[in-house]
Amino acid sequence: MDYPRQDFRKGNDRPAYRDQRPAAEKPKWNMTFKPEWITNEIDRDGIEFTKEFGKYLANNDLTTSQIRNIYGELKRIEMKGYENDKTSFLLLLPKMAYTAQRNKNDGLSALKSVFEKAHSYVNDEKKYKKLMDFMESILAYHKAFGGRNN
């Protein structure tokens, strides 16, 4: 998949690049997501995916608070234990759908599509932990590539 390049203006830490392509031409992140990253283990391709995906999210208006809201809820569920709080985990899908509809931007839409795909493969504590690792990697790269605050 051909990923967009990042371009920084002199003296500005925000990327100049925003994906202006029509929806049909934008990267289909959920199509390049591999279920094995949740069902088995994340590999080098998975890390590269989270790197490029984190960069895309940072460049396309996903705020740190938006991604942290989802990650924070996942952490809360992890602390209670996946088996003890499955309902909250299942309710993350409608929460994500609501948030994506309320704050329309390419970054949040992309995160929603990948999260929905990854979410569908989680059915036990072990896979939940792998989802957490996957999301943590996305969050780290988002921030590393200048994900904006707010």
User: Which residue, chain included where needed, has tokens 């990267």?
Assistant: 27
57: its two tokens: 């999210």
* Backbone conformation region of residue 26, classed left if phi is above 0, alpha if psi is from -120 to 50, else beta: beta
pTM, entire model: 0.80
Position 26 scores a pLDDT of 60
pLDDT digits (tens, 9 = 90+) for 7-24: 444 444 444 455 665 554
**DSSP string computed for 18-67:** ---S-GGGS--HHHH--THHHHT---HHHHHHHHHHHHHHHHTT--HHHH
pLDDT digits (tens, 9 = 90+) for 99-117: 888 888 888 999 999 999 9
